[in-house]
């Protein structure tokens, strides 16, 4: 199957209000669940699954042709990766029960970095709250971007959850509050956009959070 990719789609289009994709098959046991939001070709998840084929890897993507390609590729490689066609901003909490996900990945989440497209950005306070709810206690969020404004918006969304929502919502920045992760890559997987950034010599900002449940 050839990978033919549609141009970016507008996530604010009313066509994305209702979930019309195929829901993911979730593990019924303790298999760790890892989810990439905006996975495109899911290269990152295929790397993860190759390194640890006993996990469950789900990529959410708003471009349906990419989702079809990911699912075809997963069958070809016999790896536990699933692509799900959805608008993650609308459907995350519909697709995953509370406290079900071990790791959420937001790799280069945004084609919408221009100011005029600000409303279309993926990482919002609402998405950060949805992610928090779906994460297991002590679950992780890993964010990578080469766009400074996107990195700042992402940090603001997660860093201020306890203020914007309530004090029980705490995400602990693993590098220290309002800081970027500079240590070794904890995931040993590379998305396509990451590979392109390295090839073109772009800086990549990384942010790493762990969910803390305050009782
Ligand atoms: C810049 S690409 C990065 C792809 C991949 N994560 C990587 O690092 O190579 C961002 C991806 O997010 C997808 N996307 C944007 N908004 C989305 C949304 N609301 N829900 C699901 N996917 C979305 C886009 O279609 C695109 O494939």
Per DSSP, helices labelled H in the chain are 43-51, 64-77, 88-95, 125-134, 148-159, 161-164, 192-200
Rounded to two decimals, the pTM is: 0.93
Give the number of the atom of ligand 1 that is nearest the alpha carbon of residue 106: 6
What number of other Cβ atoms are within 10 A of residue 174's Cβ? 17
Q: Where are the domains of the chain?
A: 29-213
Per-residue pLDDT of the chain (215 residues; tens, 9 = 90+): 666 666 677 776 767 789 888 999 999 999 999 999 999 999 999 999 999 999 999 999 999 999 999 999 999 999 999 999 999 999 999 999 999 999 999 999 976 656 666 666 789 999 999 999 999 999 999 999 999 999 999 999 999 988 777 788 899 999 999 999 999 999 999 999 999 999 999 999 999 999 997 66
Looking at the CA of residue 193, tell me the nearest atom of ligand 1: 9
**Architecture of the structural domain at 29-213:** 3-Layer(aba) Sandwich (3.40)
Output the ligand 1 site: residues, CB below 6 A.
Answer: 8, 11, 38-40, 60-63, 87-89, 107-109, 111, 122, 191-194
Cα–Cα distance for residue pair 197/34, rounded to 1 Å: 23
Catalytic residue among 41, 110, 146, 153: 110
29 is a catalytic site residue = no
């Amino acid at each position: 199957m050839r990978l033919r990719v549609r141009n970016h789609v507008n996530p604010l289009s009313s066509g994305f209000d209702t979930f019309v994709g195929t829901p993911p098959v979730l593990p019924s046991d303790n298999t760790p669940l890892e989810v990439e939001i905006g996975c495109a070709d899911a290269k990152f998840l295929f790397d993860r699954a190759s390194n640890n084929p006993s996990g469950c890897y789900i990529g959410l993507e708003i471009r349906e042709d990419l989702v079809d390609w990911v699912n075809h590729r997963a069958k070809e490689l016999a790896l536990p990766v699933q692509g799900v066609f959805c608008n993650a901003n609308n459907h995350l909490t519909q697709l995953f029960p509370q406290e079900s996900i071990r790791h959420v990945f937001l790799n280069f989440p945004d084609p919408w970095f221009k100011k005029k497209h600000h409303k279309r950005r993926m990482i919002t306070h609402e998405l950060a709250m949805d992610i928090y709810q779906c994460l297991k206690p002590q679950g992780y969020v890993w964010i990578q971007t080469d766009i400074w404004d996107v990195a700042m918006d992402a940090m603001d969304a997660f860093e201020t959850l306890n203020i914007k929502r309530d004090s029980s919502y705490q995400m602990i920045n693993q590098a220290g509050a309002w800081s970027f992760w500079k240590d070794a890559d904890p995931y040993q997987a590379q998305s396509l956009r990451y590979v392109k950034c390295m090839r073109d010599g772009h800086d990549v900002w990384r942010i790493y959070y762990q969910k803390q449940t305050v009782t």
